Structure 1
Amino acid sequence: MPLASTTLIDLQTAATRSDYGLSTLRRHIRAGTIPAVKVKGRIYLRPEDLDTFTAPEPVHVPDSALQDWAARMAATAPAFRPEQRNIIMSAFASALGGE
């Protein structure tokens, strides 16, 4: 990573900014997951590289797996009280443009 005209942050700043611990960031730097440079004994990385590392990755789950999970949860869940059911039905109806 070239240092010229590149904004770098130190490891402590990266830890604070990302909510990852120093040891976790060091482990990922050692593994090559996060590009970094060492200057006079201190570790620096680009904010963009930290952002890329911390960006959420979408999880793709087949509809059938979600339906199976929902059926298992519904089978073990306690029954709703009538007032709870009315609140839930009202929320879904308004969200779906119904009554």
Structure 2
Amino acid sequence: MFEAGLWARSLPTFAAGTLLAGTGIGLAFRRGVGVGVGVAQRLAGPRRRADLLSTNFLFASTGTIVPTPALGLLDQTINQDVATLILAVAVVATTLASALRRPTTAIA
């Protein structure tokens, strides 16, 4: 939806896509950090828990930050519309690949 708003030059579609994307990344971040915190609480000893939690948070934050500089680099060399399309395809492909590799049973 974000990409469609950009290509169509439609502010309402672009804004709706931005809200949808922001909600999605917020939920994914919350889920990723929440699961990581639960695993750290169960598996890590008290002396290592802070290290594990901070590493989990660092990786979760990196996943939400990396697309922005990537878009900036792409935009310097190619058209902005094409740059965002490449980034959108990369994000969708990464998401699908991660979903397909995800275990179907809960990790105890």
* TM-score, with structure 2 as normaliser: 0.25
Pick 1 or 2: higher relative contact order, CA cutoff 8 A, min separation 6.
1
Bigger-Rg structure (1/2): 1
* TM-score, with structure 1 as normaliser: 0.27
**Which structure carries more strand by proportion?**
1
**Which structure carries more helix by proportion?**
2
